[in-house]
């Protein structure tokens, strides 16, 4: 049976949400944020998930093993604002069972 993973997401207003993210729908973190409407439409996932904007930038607060950063994500983050060493683009991180307990914080809107 497919399971959900529990993820903690701090939204742009600092509010913590504990949500269940399904692993069987090929969702990424950006899409999970949209699924639960944790950021207003039009402020996240603007490019649709192609690593071509940084509207889904988030800070990863735990040490979970995540998909390695690819060139396009790295290039986009190098032009984004408010970037920290733990910045990732949510759209490039697919939800997997290994992400149980992951904690992230959404970066401010640019």
Stretch that binds other proteins, among 3-11, 19-27, 73-81, 89-97 (CB under 8 A): 73-81
Q: Is 110 in the site for other proteins (CB under 8 A)?
A: yes
In a 10 Å sphere around its CB, with 0-12 CB exposed, 13-18 middle and 19+ buried, how is residue 13 labelled?
exposed
Q: Is 38 in the site for other proteins (CB under 8 A)?
A: no
Q: Is 101 in the site for other proteins (CB under 8 A)?
A: no
User: For residues 41-60, which are near other proteins according to CB under 8 A?
Assistant: 41-43, 46-47, 50, 52-53, 55
Tell me how far, at minimum, the Cβ of 3 lies from other proteins, in Å: 28
For other proteins, the binding residues (CB under 8 A) are 40-43, 46-47, 50, 52-53, 55, 72, 74-75, 78-79, 81-83, 110
């Amino acid at each position: 049976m497919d399971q959900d993973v529990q993820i903690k997401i701090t939204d742009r207003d600092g509010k913590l949400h504990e949500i269940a993210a399904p692993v069987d729908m090929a969702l990424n973190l950006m899409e999970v944020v949209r699924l639960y409407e944790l950021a207003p439409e039009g402020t996240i996932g603007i490019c649709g998930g192609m690593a071509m904007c940084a509207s889904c930038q988030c800070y990863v607060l735990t040490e979970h093993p995540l998909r390695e950063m690819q060139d396009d994500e790295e290039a986009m983050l190098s032009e984004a604002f408010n970037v920290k060493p733990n910045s990732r683009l949510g759209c490039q991180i697919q939800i997997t069972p290994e992400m149980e307990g992951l904690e992230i914080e959404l970066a401010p809107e640019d």
